[in-house]
Structure 1
């Protein structure tokens, strides 16, 4: 009887010590669940119906993302411009987004460097200032209306920075309009210029008689600048790194497919555009737009500090957003290494 009592007492004391230890460490079953990094049951993906988002459209059309995601459900959401997509990401209704570099920076800045991370590049180039035939110098824009897709989006910042550099701030009317509406307004003579991403700059040139006044790549070293990148909610990246890695495998596969199968990739983009907008691009339009972009998983991270400073020059921000710590290319570089491809550089953005 004494032996049984001694054993029971020892076990009880052991259980009590274990419970106290767990309490002292602050752990619990709920904490363990929070640390679970299993694949996500659903991935909510945002993107635009633009040629500058071609890898998104190609991967969706060819099923390359679903193939890598396996049992994770892929839910897609279309956007017209970056600021709306930023709201969805910060509001928690979107997990990963194809987005312009300007709104990507804004998402990071608005959340004090907490809510999102830059995880890949998508496209370099593919933005132009197109004008009516009578615009032959920057000064010819005085008194005219110039359109960008949305206040604070990538092209909006680029235009306003350029105008500031020409001393034309407040001398040119800058307005924001959905891309399809801009095409109609240009045809009708309501606007005389627009800074647009592809395929919309090509559509204004080929369908509305606009001319290319400036290709944005002329303003950047070696003509390279990040037009479209991919960002992810930080919480989603921490909780589901396998899912993020699987998505990035699909992205790399999409870019590889596009670079190896140009004609079929263009067809895939056109099929998706027709499904999203009800209209496909003419062959000459998509060919022209394609020639103006470079598909790359390199986010060209070294230019993000300049892009942040451009927001001040453009009058969008009073202080340049701090982009230190913005990039987390761990999963992308793991994918690239497994594929035998060179890793990409974070440009110092991986450190705060």
Structure 2
């Protein structure tokens, strides 16, 4: 696999890659390779529970059935995957909704093609949690003022969600010190006292719980009930040139989402193939929802908060972004 590290700044994209596996060479033209009736497409993912349906769909042959072969690369967050898709290195990617709205509001031509993941909508039983270490004096998000809080990438959905949780608890989110840290590094950083709290998703959230970590908020739910958290997307250019491939990806992904939602035990098993989570910890993992369609009302609420917090310079055109 090739690991991508990139930053997404206002109007600026810096991209660098390091080869560390056997996926196909990048395709600057944005055209996926075809062989024997099967099209190979590069897909940028984050190694978290959210993307389990894709790995499961790949194993079950859903993508192959639709004439696709996935060459998967991983990144720390959706903000890093966006430049790869826009540049043509990836044909498709997985990203949190905020990063896609930031791109769209800066006239970066990204287009969501399939739903990704949604919050469970249940406080204390979501796949994302704002957590502190065992014995911490912090009991409420309000007490995070002046504290270090780890999120996977700055200016993304997790920053908006933590800000919403702090604001809901009566605190000032502008006083929170956000630290960028990969999800799989958060449990150790929290345990060692490098940060005061983490906004973490599964399977890392289960690892934090296994260390005695305590949840103080379900931040995604403070944004909106049943929040659409992430989407699978492509570039507008690739969609225009390859509508047939995009349709195949949409159909295979929809089938994968539905299968994952109905087979939680198989989801847990597939997670062990692309993360290092121990089997004992895996049992504690809270699975998200994988609905067929995004919840537009929740995305509109997320966009409003993004503007209020300065993550979005202007309101994104959701008609151009959403499937």
Report the TM-score when normalising by structure 1: 0.72
SS at 2:70 equivalent: strand
> Is the Cα–Cα contact under 8 Å of residues 112 and 232 in structure 2 kept in the other structure?
yes
**2 CA distance for matches of 1:204 and 1:68?**
39
Structure 1 contact 64–250 (Cα < 8 Å) conserved? yes
**What is the aligned partner in structure 1 of residue 212 from structure 2?**
209
Match of 1:138 among 112, 137, 141: 141
Q: Which position in structure 2 is the counterpart of 1:248? A: 250
Alignment of 1:285 onto 2:281: yes
- Map of 1:4 onto structure 2: none
Cα pair 1:55 1:122 within 8 Å, conserved: no
The question of whether the paired residues in 2 share the 8 Å contact of 1:59 and 1:251 is answered with: yes
Q: 1:40 to 1:241 in 2, by over 3 A?
A: farther
Q: Check whether the contact 1:90–1:107 (CA below 8 A) recurs between aligned residues.
A: no
Structure 2: any 5+ residue segments left out of the alignment?
A: 1-33, 120-126
1:54/1:73 CA distance change after superposition, 3 Å: closer
Number of residue pairs aligned between Structure 1 and Structure 2: 278
Q: Distance in 1 between matches of 2:258 and 2:315?
A: 35
Say if 1:322 and 1:258 are closer, same or farther in 2 by CA, change over 3 A.
closer
Q: Check if 1:319 corresponds to 2:314.
A: yes
Which string of whole-angstrom CA distances, capped at 9 and with x for unpartnered residues, describes residues 168-206 of structure 1?
Answer: 234322111112222211111111201122222222122
2:177 corresponds in structure 1 to 173
Decide which structure has the larger Cα Rg and report it: 1
Contact kept in structure 2, 1:47 and 1:56, CA below 8 Å: no
Q: Which residue of the partner structure matches residue 71 of structure 2?
A: 75
**TM-score in terms of structure 2 length:** 0.78
* Mean Cα deviation higher: 244-253 or 143-152: 244-253
Are the aligned partners of 2:160 and 2:309 in contact in 1 as well (CA < 8 Å)? yes
- CA–CA distance in 1 between the matches of 2:101 and 2:147? 30
Shift of the alpha carbon at 1:225? Answer: 0.6
Q: How does 1:49-128 map to 2 (within 5 A)?
A: 49-69=47-67, 72-111=68-107, 115-125=109-119, 126-128=127-129
Sort the Cα spacing of 1:50 and 1:136 in 2 relative to 1 into closer, same or farther, 3 A: same
In the alignment, the residues of structure 2 paired with residue 317 and residue 258 of structure 1 have an alpha-carbon distance, to the nearest angstrom, of: 32
Q: Take 2:184 and 2:274, find their aligned partners in 1: how far apart are those partners?
A: 16
Matching residue within 202, 208, 224 for 1:198: 202
Counterpart for residue 32 of structure 1: none
Deviation track 1:226-248 (CA, whole Å, cap 9, x = no partner) reads 12211121122222222112112
Query: What is the aligned partner in structure 1 of residue 27 from structure 2?
Result: none
Q: Which structure has the highest helix share of the two?
A: 1
Q: What is the CA–CA distance in structure 2 between the aligned matches of 1:137 and 1:260, rounded to whole Å?
A: 35
SS state at 1:236 partner: helix
C-alpha separation between the residues in 2 aligned to 1:157 and 1:139? 15
Aligned CA distance change for structure 1 residues 168 and 287 (closer, same or farther; 3 Å): same
What is the CA–CA distance in structure 1 between the aligned matches of 2:236 and 2:218, rounded to whole Å? 34
- For residue 73 of structure 1, report the CA deviation from its aligned partner: 4.6
Instruction: Give 1 or 2: higher strand fraction.
Output: 2
Match of residue 335 from structure 1: none
Quick check: 1:157–1:311 contact (8 Å CA) kept in 2?
Answer: yes
RMSD of equivalent CA atoms: 2.4
| Counterpart selection for 2:230 from 220, 224, 228 | 228
Q: Which stretches in structure 1 are left out of the alignment for 5+ residues?
A: 1-37, 274-278, 329-352
Change in Cα spacing, 1:107 to 1:317, as seen in structure 2 (3 Å) is closer
Q: Does 1:189 pair with 2:193?
A: yes
CA shift in 2, pair 1:220/1:151, >3 Å: closer
Q: Which runs of 4+ in 1 moved over 4 A?
A: 38-41
Determine if contact 1:109/1:323 at 8 Å carries over to the other structure.
no
